[in-house]
Amino acid sequence: MIIKHRPEDFIVQEQTTLPLGDGRYSYWLLRKRNMTTMEAVHAVARSMGIKKIGFAGTKDKVAVTEQYISIPFRQETVHFVHALCSIHFVGFGAVPLSLGNLDGNRFVIVVRDLANADVAKAAATMHGNTYRFCNLFGEQRFSSKNAEIGKLLLTKKYRDACNVLIQSNGEHEQLVQRALAAHPTDFIRALKTIPRKILLLYLHAYQSSLWNEYAPLLEQDTIPLLGFGSELSDAEEKIIVPIMQREGISLRDFINPSFPEITLEGDVRNKWCIATELAYEVADDDYFPGKRKMTLTFFLPKGSYATVLCRFLFA
């Protein structure tokens, strides 16, 4: 199985009901190709000379995606030119968009390099126009170092977290490096130069990696996401506590009095996700001679991952 052989093989269209009306915010449809949501948002922000742009969710990099953004002023026309992304005015409203303000995403995905047996097996597992699968977090949740940094933050190993960030050599990592140059031993101060939502992204990545490990082992429909305030049943403790002991963490670690900005609350997540409006077409693969390709179209609710669906369909 090969997905994302080219960006056009992975199309994502955000589905939401915008709170249109009178207000100080303008809403835009952001289209991008082969760039992350943050890269695209930063490009728009730099072009407009503003610092904050609202959006409801991050989309895959190696893809062609559409999603909505909000800009904190009323404007219907903007001169914005970029090779990999564009914006198109939609309307006005009274509130900014924020993470989670969406219903879900519609996907068109081309899965390549398949044998006839792979196609037959995947088709046999679909139930009409729906497909149920374990609602694991996808690899884009973790990036290369996100979960590792998240664990270091959780366990208060701030020096190590700074070292990993510096080695990553990205935009936020440069902030840490500059802060340490001025205050070499104040690691919390250096980490606080990173936006809180990015720090929480690291913690959520580690939280998600733990969930991916224990969720398939639990025989229930709702599974806790570990954090401050999590209460585990006896059945949950039996499976989750040994994993936490191996990791060297406890639920108390999710509370951080010395760095309250990154105290992480517990939550719950549905073990199962159901893809709806599912359809597919099969054809010869135009990139891999002698193989087949399967084009899937479907809708997923927010927080679920098309890459995980593909993994289960073609496992």
Known catalytic residue at 234: no
Residue 32, classed as helix, strand or coil, is strand
Where residue 147 falls (left for φ over 0; alpha for ψ -120 to 50; beta otherwise) is alpha
Q: Which of 9, 22, 60, 103 is catalytic?
A: 60
Interatomic CA distance for residues 141 and 212, integer angstroms: 11
- In this structure, are strands 292-301 and 104-114 parallel, antiparallel, or unpaired? antiparallel
- State the DSSP string of 210-279: HHHHHGGG--SSEEEEPSBT----HHHHHHHHHHHHHHT--GGGG--TTSGGG--B-EEEESEEEEEEEE
Provide the β-strand partners of residue 131: 275
Geometric angle at alpha carbon 183, from 177 and 189, rounded to 5°: 75
Catalytic sites, residue numbers: 60
